[in-house]
Structure 1
Amino acid sequence: MKKIILADSQAIFRAGTAKVLAADDDLRIIAQCADLERLFHAIDTFPGSIILFAASLRPDLLQLRRRLEKAGSRGIVIAENSEAAQVYVQQGFRGVIFRNVTGQALVDCVRRVSNGDTWIPPQLAAVSPVDEDVVGTRVRDRLTPKEMRIVALIVQGCKNRDIALRLKTTEQVIKNYLRSIYDKTGVSDRLELALFTIHHRALAAAAAEMSTKMDAEEQAATGAVA
């Protein structure tokens, strides 16, 4: 049984990753951490583990690598889709995955690293022109601006009640919108929707842009009231 520690501040991504890894009988997630303090505690508590950690947590990479070596553990970096994986490979980490990694590639990476090998992302193993995200682009263009706002908030981990408050509407209206969004994306629940969005570059970029727009609107509204 291979012990896995999963560290990421994005609850939705943690849940999706855990769901994928739990399907493999040989992999066991023994800790989930939302911040560096919990991660360091888990590393010290469960030596000899595979550590999947998000680069967005901004750890001191040299310090983290030394801590892993002391614990007899191996680290796999969860990099943002726009990042260069070479940086982490050069730092001595045994594997790098991107947020849009497929479930099979995620399992392959964990298995290889746990066996003492290094897992190189396909983007590094064979450099090729960036593939056009046809599916993500098509779904993005089918979603209305209101639906895209809801998608952006789902990716952030917001519940229906929170979304309704942010968009100044009711939970029932949000549920109605979600049914339409599920139909357009071909998913069945909010977790699948969040993972679908993260895995499709064009849709993820649109959701991030909408999040920035909503934050700016809310700040402007707060400033106007003040």
Structure 2
Amino acid sequence: MSVRTLVVDDHPIMRQGLTAMLTATPDFEVVGQASDGVEAVELATELRPDLVLMDLRMPRLDGVAATEAVLRDVPTARVVVLTTYESDDAILGAVEAGASGYLLKAAPEEELLAGLRSVVAGQVALAPSMAALLVGRARRTASQADASGSEGAGGAAAAADGSSGSTPTPLSPRETQVLVLVAEGCSNREIGLRLFVGEATVKTHLQHVFEKLGVGDRTRAVTLAMERGWLPSTRA
């Protein structure tokens, strides 16, 4: 069955290009096109698409706000942000709104389609440059937290008992490795190959991660861990 897709972009040429690409792909079906965020929410509510390709900067309602509204009205949909903007703040804003992917419009067609298929399969899709930005942000956050925690005579002791500075990670080293690979856009199979374990083991690690972080999906787990600076702390 084809993935019913809504294409959202304020530039007609970009909408037409994305629509042509998806129409030529047997596993996708374009059910509608929207030129701004308000229209995207209206069409998503009416058409109930499986997948929404969302531009970030649009008139009337931007992509982040539109993503949040679409997922509120159509919680079964998955949203992938397609943009020309490489910004860690923009990525986090989109992911926090519920987006399952953040891809660049300039990426090769094969990369875009692979990312979309990954999202449809329940994975997180981040362009490689986006993953690098987020890891860099996480490292800066961790460094700032370490510096803050070490200030003053009692800084080290306070950090040790968790009373100030960054919150100690609840994740095991292996769970952290798995989550780092999720942030890089790897599927369960790819993670298993990288870590020399089976897919079932990867799923078990992810379930433990979800339980420890109090989240229900990979996107939320990655976002929370990166915001708290946990991913690079034990990265192999």
Using the size of structure 1 for normalisation, the TM-score is: 0.50
Structure 1 residue 27 displacement after superposition: 0.3
The reply to whether residue 20 of structure 1 matches residue 42 of structure 2 is: no
Q: 1:78 aligns with which of 79, 82, 86?
A: 82
C-alpha deviation, 1:107, in angstroms: 0.8
**Counterparts in 2 of 1:81 and 1:60: CA distance versus 1, 3 Å:** closer
Amino acid at match of 2:101: G
Write out aligned runs for 1:180-191 (5 A): none
Secondary structure at 2:57 match in 1: helix
Q: Which residue of 1 aligns with 2:71?
A: 68
Answer yes or no: is 1:95 the counterpart of 2:98.
Answer: no
User: Counterparts of 2:63 and 2:104 in 1: how far apart (Å)?
Assistant: 19
In 2 relative to 1, CA 92–9 (structure 1 residues): closer, same or farther, beyond 3 Å?
same
Structure 1 equivalent of residue 230 of structure 2: none
* Secondary structure at 2:122 match in 1: coil
The alignment partner of 1:56 has SS state of: coil
1:87/1:37 CA distance change after superposition, 3 Å: closer
Q: How does 1:97-112 map to 2 (within 5 A)?
A: 97-112=103-118
Change beyond 3 A, Cα 1:90–1:38: closer
| 5+ long unaligned stretches in structure 2 | 134-236
Matches within 5 A, 1:111-126: 111-126=117-132
Cα distance, 1:37 vs. partner? Answer: 2.6
Q: Can you list the C-alpha shifts for 1:124-153, whole angstroms capped at 9, x where unaligned?
A: 3457xxxxxxxxxxxxxxxxxxxxxxxxxx
Supply the RMSD in Å over aligned alpha carbons.
Answer: 2.1
Q: Is the 8 A contact 2:36 2:62 kept in 1?
A: no
Q: 2:62 aligns with which of 59, 62, 73?
A: 59
Instruction: Indicate the residue corresponding to 1:5 in structure 2.
Output: 6
The equivalent of 2:46 in structure 1 is: 45
User: Aligned runs of 1:175-214 on 2, under 5 Å?
Assistant: none
Inter-CA distance 86–101: structure 2 relative to 1 (3 Å threshold): farther
Counterpart AA for 2:67: L
Taking the aligned partners of 2:110 and 2:126, their CA distance within structure 1 comes to 14
Which 4+ residue blocks in structure 1 deviate beyond 6 angstroms?
none
Equivalents in 2 of 1:3, 1:56: separation in Å? Answer: 23
CA apart distance, 1:90 = 4.3
Q: Are the aligned partners of 2:82 and 2:103 in contact in 1 as well (CA < 8 Å)?
A: yes
Q: Are the structure 2 counterparts of residues 40 and 89 from structure 1 closer, same or farther at C-alpha, using a change threshold of 3 Å?
A: closer
Offset at residue 78 of structure 1 (A): 1.4
Secondary structure of 1:55's partner? coil
**Larger relative contact order (C-alpha < 8 A, sep ≥ 6)?**
1
Q: TM-score, normalised by structure 2?
A: 0.48
> Contact (CA 8 Å) 2:5, 2:49: kept in 1 or not?
no
Percent identity of the aligned residues? 18
Deviations 1:31-88 (A, max 9, x none): 0111223211111012242010110115273563253144111111112244443442
Deviation string 1:72-111 (CA, Å, 9 cap, x unpaired) is 1111111224444344234431001112121111111111
* In 2: Cα distance, 1:50 partner to 1:114 partner: 7
Tell me by how many angstroms 1:121 deviates: 1.0
Contact 1:43 1:68 in 2 (8 A): no
Using the alignment, how far apart are the partners of 1:105 and 1:15 within structure 2?
18
Residues 1:60 and 1:38: Cα distance change in structure 2 (over 3 Å):
closer
Tell me, in whole angstroms, the C-alpha distance in 1 between the residues paired with 2:38 and 2:85: 25
Which amino acid in structure 2 is aligned with residue 67 of structure 1?
V
